[in-house]
């Protein structure tokens, strides 16, 4: 999505450099937080194959967390693939929202900062500079992603699987891990 590859590479280096200054988060009662969570931001993937899998995951996620109100961050080229119920709750990332360095502009960060999210779930299976930078700037207690070394410092709940594990199985792990603490906290 970047216009200039050398500058986008600099942007990636900048995000990595920022991680060195990221303070460690406090310990979180995940079961308690998930049971009280009311607002979520789901960052939808940038690749078409993962996007389709994420839509399926979303249906199962809603069944698992029926009281959670979700907002969706979607790249412009995939917005038309969203069901109408998701499209009305979607914030679209366009090329105009991204700087020459491949990171989100302040306007996008401010637009997302207006909402208070209890949790953010990044559904990209690999490092995505835009998503990682946004997560670093948004104030959510629980920030979840599929593990990747370039973004681990920005998230506090990482789903680790083998790199050879298919994305749909990685999403299954994600739902299972989210279900387990809630069930454990409710018992």
Tens digit of pLDDT at every position of the chain (187 positions): 445 565 556 555 666 655 555 555 566 777 777 878 899 999 999 999 999 999 999 989 888 888 899 999 999 999 999 999 999 999 999 999 999 999 999 999 999 999 999 999 999 998 889 999 999 999 898 998 888 777 777 888 888 888 788 999 999 999 988 886 544 444 3
Give the N- to C-terminal CA distance of the chain in Å, as an integer. Answer: 46
Helix (H) or strand (E) holding 143: strand 142-146
Structural domains for the chain: 5-19+30-186 (3.40.50.2000)
Q: How far apart are CA 2 and CA 11, in angstroms?
A: 10
DSSP 2: -
So what's the pLDDT on residue 159?
A: 86
Q: How far apart are CA 6 and CA 8, in angstroms?
A: 5
Instruction: Give the global pTM.
Output: 0.81
């Amino acid at each position: 999505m970047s216009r200039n590859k050398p500058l986008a590479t600099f942007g990636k280096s900048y995000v990595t450099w920022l991680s060195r200054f990221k303070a460690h988060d406090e310990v979180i009662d995940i079961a308690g937080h998930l049971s009280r969570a009311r607002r979520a931001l789901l960052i939808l993937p940038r690749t078409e194959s993962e996007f389709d899998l994420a839509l399926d995951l979303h249906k199962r996620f809603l069944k698992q967390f029926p009281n959670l109100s979700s907002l969706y961050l979607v790249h412009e080229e995939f917005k038309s693939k969203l069901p109408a119920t998701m499209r009305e709750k979607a914030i679209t990332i366009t090329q105009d929202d991204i700087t020459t360095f491949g990171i989100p502009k302040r306007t996008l960060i401010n637009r997302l900062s207006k909402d208070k999210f209890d949790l953010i779930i990044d559904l990209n299976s690999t490092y995505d500079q835009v998503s990682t930078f946004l997560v670093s700037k948004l104030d959510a207690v629980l920030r979840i992603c599929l593990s990747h070394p370039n973004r681990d410092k920005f998230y506090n709940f990482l789903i680790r699987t083998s790199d050879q594990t298919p994305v749909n199985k990685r999403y299954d792990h994600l739902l299972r891990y989210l279900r387990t603490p809630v069930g454990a906290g409710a018992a």
